[in-house]
Amino acid sequence: MASFFSPKSMGTKILTGLTNLIIVNLVFIITCIPLITIGASITALYRITVSIVAGDNPAVLREYFKSFKDNFVKSTLFFLLYLALGAFFGFEIYMVRTMMAENMQWVQYPAYFFIFAVFASACYAFPLIAWFEESFKQVLKNSLLIALTNLPFTIMQAVIAAVFILLVDYNYAIPLSFVCFMGIASIAWFYSLFLKRIFAKFGADINFNEEEEMFVASNASDKKSDSSSDEGSDDESDEESK
């Protein structure tokens, strides 16, 4: 039992991860209340969940609010862009359904495609903002590229979102209780399992133990230099003895 709760045991890691998810889920809900901050909140959420997936033990509140502050402007611009595009195409679908004859209902189908494209881009834009220093144009381009080249994962996210919406429509109490506990953070963590692999596939090396690795490398180099100096001193002493 003692080994189960040791600092490096699997049990401790699991309990720490669950605690971090509960905390970040609560902070996410609170920071989303002004609505205009939803984009920055999603970005900060992925900053934490990808970190947890990578095996890091982040200082949740500090890292969350740092990412929230640093990426607020860019995340908000993307959120407003996606909101405007979603509203535009949603209104187009509504107009077609209510004002056009049945034989013209096919006109709404392209709008569904564009709504899916907006959703697909949004799925990757905020994680990209959280982890990469890219311009607005680069984030938009790369989010669409990643969505297209990882279509099964993109479709899976769309299906999960659709199921959640249906649950809210059926009985809002069930999904609401799930969300308030750790639901949003859990979904983001699940998505982060795939996002880390996708980012790595595109050449990104997400490493959260750089300081430790640098320390190990420096120690190794120091030992190597010490050993080489010892060998040199041994050689010199041998020459002197000769």
Distance of CA 168 to the CA centre of its chain: 24
Those residues whose C-beta lies under 8 Å from the C-beta of residue 4, and which sit 6 or more positions away, are 10, 11, 12
Distance of CA 119 to the CA centre of its chain: 15
17's tokens: 């991860």
82's tokens: 């996606």
Among 92-106, 153-167, 202-216, the range scoring the smallest mean pLDDT is 202-216
pLDDT above 60 for 100? yes
**Mean model confidence pLDDT for the chain:** 80
Comparing 74 with 5, the larger pLDDT belongs to 74
What are the sequence ranges of the domains in the chain? 10-231
- List phi, psi (to 5°) of 56: -85, 160
34/28 Cα distance (integer angstroms)? 11
Question: How does residue 163 score in pLDDT terms, banded at 50, 70 and 90?
Answer: confident
pLDDT above 60 for 215? no
226/6 Cα distance (integer angstroms)? 35
Question: How does residue 18 score in pLDDT terms, banded at 50, 70 and 90?
Answer: confident
71/201 Cα distance (integer angstroms)? 24
User: Model pTM greater than 0.85?
Assistant: no
Average pLDDT, integer, range 43-68:
89
